[in-house]
Amino acid sequence: MRSLLQSLDLEGRPVGPVPEIPAEDERRLFRHMLRMRLLDQRMLSLQRQGRIGFYGTATGEEAAVTGSAYAARPTDWVFPALRQMGVSLWRGTSIRDIVCQLIGNRGDVLIGRQMPCHFSDRNVHTVAWSSVIGTQLVHAMGAAWAARLSRHDTVCLGYLGDGASSSADFHAAANFAGVFQLPVVFFCQNNQWAISVPLEGQTASESIAVKAMAYGFPGVRVDGNDLLAVVGASREAIDRARAGGGPTLIEAVTFRMGGHSSSDDPTRYRPQEQVAEWERRDPITRFRAYLTAAGRLTDQDVEHWTQELNDEVSVAVAEAEALGPPPIESLFADVYHTMPRHLEEQMRYAIAMGEGAKVEGAFPL
C-alpha cells in the first residue's frame, strides 16, 4: 500500500510537510469549509421539506474539495462530479447561484436544464457534468489536449469518486492522458462508498492511486481530511502539469458522512462503527485545532462566521424562492447561433400558449 501523505494528525498537530499558505488564506480556507458544511445542512433540510427535489452533500469531504480548489488558478478548468459545488463556490459562485440552480428558476445560470446539484458555470470555468459515472474525465482529458495544442498553460481538473475508477471512461481518459502527457489532474475523492458498494467491492488493487502506474504517470495517496496535505499534493500535481510534466492521479482518502444523495439511506448498508471512526477524523475539526493552536482562529471567529453564513443562506433562499420559472423563450435559445425560421415560429406559438392566448392551427413540428 502506498504511503499516505499527511501534514496534520487527528488533533491538528503538524506531523509532515506544511505547504506555504498566507495566514489570511488559511482563515479563508477554514471559513470556506464551514460555509460548505452549513450550506449542505440547510439544503438537505430544504429537500426534506419538498422545496428542492434532490441534493448530494459533501459533508466530511470539505478538505478534499477546498484544498484542491485552492491549488488551482482561476483560469484552470474544472470538470466536477456530484460533490464539488464547493470548488465553484471558492472560485466565485454565490450561494444564491447555487440555490437558484437547485430550484431551476429564472435566476439559474443553467436556465433549468440540469438536475439539481449538477452545477456548472463558464464564468468560473466549471463544465457541466452528467450522472453517467466518469464521463467528465474524458472531457477533462480532451480539454487538456486542446490546451496543449493551443499552447495554453491551462490545467484541467477532472474529479471522480472511487466508483468512477471502475468505469471505462476512467481508463480511456487516463490512458490517453498518459500517452500524450497532457496537463490534467485526475482528483479522486475516495469516500469509501459508491452508493452502497464499499471500496473492497470496487477494486482488487491495493489503492486507487496505484492504478496510475499502468498509464505511465504518478499516483499519489493523500489524507483527504487533512486540508494542508491536500493543498500540498494538489499544488505539486497542478504545477507539474502546467510545466509540461503530464498528468497525475490523486487519491484523496476521505469519507462520505451522509448518504450518497437525499434519495439514499446509508444506515441500510453501512456500519455505524465505521461512521463513528470517521467522525473522529472530521476535516473541519482538525483544521480548526491547527489554526487555534497557531493563534489564527478563535471560538468567537467561528461563532461569528456561523451566524454570518447562516444569514447568507437565508437571504439567498428567500431571493431564489421569489423568482419565477425560466422564460419560455429560453427553451429555444442556445440551439443555433442564429435561430432558424421554424424555431422562431415554434417559440412564438409557445410564448402565446404559455400566456394563455389562443393560437391558430397546430403547433408546428
Domain ranges across the chain: 23-321, 327-365
- Give residue 212's region: left, alpha or beta (phi > 0; psi -120 to 50): alpha
Spans of the chain, pLDDT less than 70 = 1-2, 355-365
In the chain, beta strands by DSSP E: 77-79, 156-161, 184-190, 193-194, 197-198, 219-223, 248-253
Q: Give the C-alpha separation, 248 to 3, whole Å.
A: 16
pLDDT at 363: 47
Q: Give the C-alpha separation, 11 to 48, whole Å.
A: 34
Give the position of cell 400558449.
353
Angle subtended at Cα 288 by Cα 284 and Cα 289, rounded to the nearest 5 degrees: 120
pLDDT at 112: 93
pLDDT at 335: 85
Catalytic residue among 42, 118, 242, 260: 260
256 catalytic per annotation: yes
260 catalytic per annotation: yes
Catalytic residue among 13, 113, 122, 269: 269
pLDDT at 365: 46
pLDDT at 364: 47
Phi, psi of 169 (to 5 degrees): -65, -30
pLDDT at 355: 61
**Secondary structure letter of residue 190 according to DSSP:** E
pLDDT at 227: 98
The CATH class, in words, for 23-321 is: alpha beta
In 179-259, beta strands by DSSP E: 184-190, 193-194, 197-198, 219-223, 248-253
Catalytic residue among 96, 256, 286, 288: 256
- Neighbour count for residue 301 (Cβ, 10 Å): 17
